[in-house]
Amino acid sequence: MTQAFERDGLAGRAARGRLLVFQDSPQFGGHEIMFLRIFHRMLARNMFERVRFHLPWENHRLRDALEALEAPALDIAPWSFQKGSGEPYCAGFRFAYRRAVQASVRSFQPNVALLIQGRIENCAVPMLTLPSQLKLVSYLPMAHRMREMSRSGLIGDRVRRRLYRRPDRFIVPSRAVAEQVGRAGGQCQSVVIENVVKPPPRANRDTARAALQLPANRRIAVFVGRLDVRQKGLDTLASAMRREAAELRHWTFLFVGEGEGSALVEALSQIGLDVRITGWTDQPHAYIAAADVLLMPSRWEGVPLVMLEAMTYGVPLLTSTLDVFRDYLPAESLIDYDSGSMADALERLTQPDVRARVAAHAGIRLPATEDSKLDPALDEAFLFSGR
């Protein structure tokens, strides 16, 4: 079980062995969608002779997506375990979960384990339970420290540091996240496999607005995502809109999503702003196509798919100064929502010359979409030299 894979110098040669995969969130979101692209390529290349994939029963969307791959080597193994409250602090005391991980290792005899982690506390139980000699790869979409998320990191960052030290490889979606891993305590190599999107061809803006019953003659700024006040920065966005309400009256602000921040957003209509909320949709690209600007005031993110979709469509973004946004976007798209002028920034992004520069930057910065481009990075992530 502990024998590491050897490179034989033949590019693209399959690494024969067994891969044990854990995912312990009932949610299906952007990073699962991006992981499936990577996983499909791994299966297509026969990188492992057998793969066992543990996931919660409740995650029907992920299970359906895995079954749709129709891969003979894949054993989909749903079970009742998922990330609980208080992890990573309580992970060592999840005894039934730990025993289940140990039993799977004994029966399957993997060469490599792979953890699908929304954050490092996801799959903390398998991480602490897997044998230390077993090679471990972490697929990690973001790695912000607690203090980078405006929280006290005195204890939380220390507890998480030992988790960051366990993997033998990280797979991350950007250079910014690789740097986050290093600051958080990761000591091994981070392999960058950038997120890619293939949205439908962009609809004409006027056509998209007519289909969504949006005003044709107003400027429209769109927010797409969970109405999460803290992570998505809705409080800083709302404060900026209140500060400059008079200058923003000729804009329509459309929020596409659901969450606890809906009351905060709805209150903005009481100060004379045209603010609209629509429920979540499985076609966010339609709203992006209708937008003049996409708003992303987030405090922390991995590499948001909605950002990549807007870049693909040539729609300017107005984002916070978060590291991942600095990595992907030109200076015109960045603003400190707490102190900058949102009205001036929005006005600037509507100018034809600025829109042209933003679109040109996106064309250069967006990663290639061909699946074959994944191969060198996958080899780097999963083929370990002899010990």
Q: Distance between CA 283 and CA 340 in Å, rounded?
A: 31
Long-range contacts of 363-368 (CB under 8 A, 24+ apart): 365/311, 365/328, 365/329, 366/196, 366/308, 366/311, 366/312, 367/194, 367/195, 367/196, 368/196
Q: What is the pLDDT of residues 272-330, one digit of tens each?
A: 999 999 988 888 899 999 999 999 999 999 999 999 999 999 999 999 999 999 999 99
Q: Distance between CA 230 and CA 213 in Å, rounded?
A: 30
How many C-beta atoms lie closer than 10 Å to residue 75's C-beta?
A: 15
* Structure tokens given for 279: 């429920």
pLDDT-derived band at 149, boundaries 50, 70, 90: confident
Q: What is the pLDDT of residues 53-101, one digit of tens each?
A: 999 999 999 999 999 999 999 999 999 999 998 898 999 899 999 999 9
Q: Distance between CA 337 and CA 342 in Å, rounded?
A: 7
Could you tell me if 73 and 117 are in contact, meaning their C-beta atoms sit under 8 angstroms apart?
A: no
Q: What is the distance, to the nearest Å, from the Cα of residue 114 to the centroid of all Cα atoms in its chain?
A: 17
Query: In sequence order, what are the beta bridge partners of 253?
Result: 221, 275
State residue 12's pLDDT score: 38
Q: What is the pLDDT of residues 323-371, one digit of tens each?
A: 999 999 999 999 999 999 999 999 999 999 999 999 999 999 998 888 8
What average pLDDT score do residues 372-376 get? 90
Secondary-structure breakdown of the chain: helix, strand, coil percentages, each rounded to the nearest 5: 40, 15, 45
State residue 150's pLDDT score: 66
- Tell me the CATH number of domain 205-365, given options 3.40.50.2000, 3.50.50.60, 1.10.1060.10, 3.40.710.10: 3.40.50.2000
Q: Distance between CA 277 and CA 257 in Å, rounded?
A: 7
Statement: residue 219 has pLDDT above 60: yes
Alpha helices (H) in the chain, listed in sequence order: 30-44, 60-68, 95-108, 124-129, 156-164, 175-184, 205-212, 234-243, 262-266, 284-290, 305-313, 323-328, 342-349, 352-365, 375-382
The phi and psi torsions of 251 (rounded to 5 degrees) equal -105, 150
Mean pLDDT value across the chain: 91
pLDDT-derived band at 154, boundaries 50, 70, 90: confident
H/E stretch holding 244 reads: none
What average pLDDT score do residues 22-51 get? 95
State residue 145's pLDDT score: 84
139: left (phi over 0), alpha (psi -120 to 50) or beta: beta
Q: Which of 78, 37, 40, 71 is closest to 57 using CA atoms?
A: 78
The pLDDT > 90 percentage for the chain reads 83
Statement: residue 1 has pLDDT above 50: no
How many C-beta atoms lie closer than 10 Å to residue 155's C-beta?
A: 10
CATH of domain 18-196+369-382: 3.40.50.2000
Q: Is the dihedral of CA 168, 171, 176, 180 positive or negative?
A: negative
In DSSP notation, 193-241 reads: ------PPPPPPHHHHHHHHT--SSSEEEEEES---TTTTTHHHHHHHH
18-196+369-382 and 205-365, same CATH topology = yes
Domain ranges within the chain, ordered by starting residue: 18-196+369-382, 205-365
H/E stretch holding 256 reads: strand 251-256
Query: In sequence order, what are the beta bridge partners of 189?
Result: 169
* Structure tokens given for 378: 């996958």
Q: Distance between CA 278 and CA 257 in Å, rounded?
A: 6
The pLDDT > 70 percentage for the chain reads 94
Q: Which of 209, 228, 211 is closest to 219 using CA atoms?
A: 209
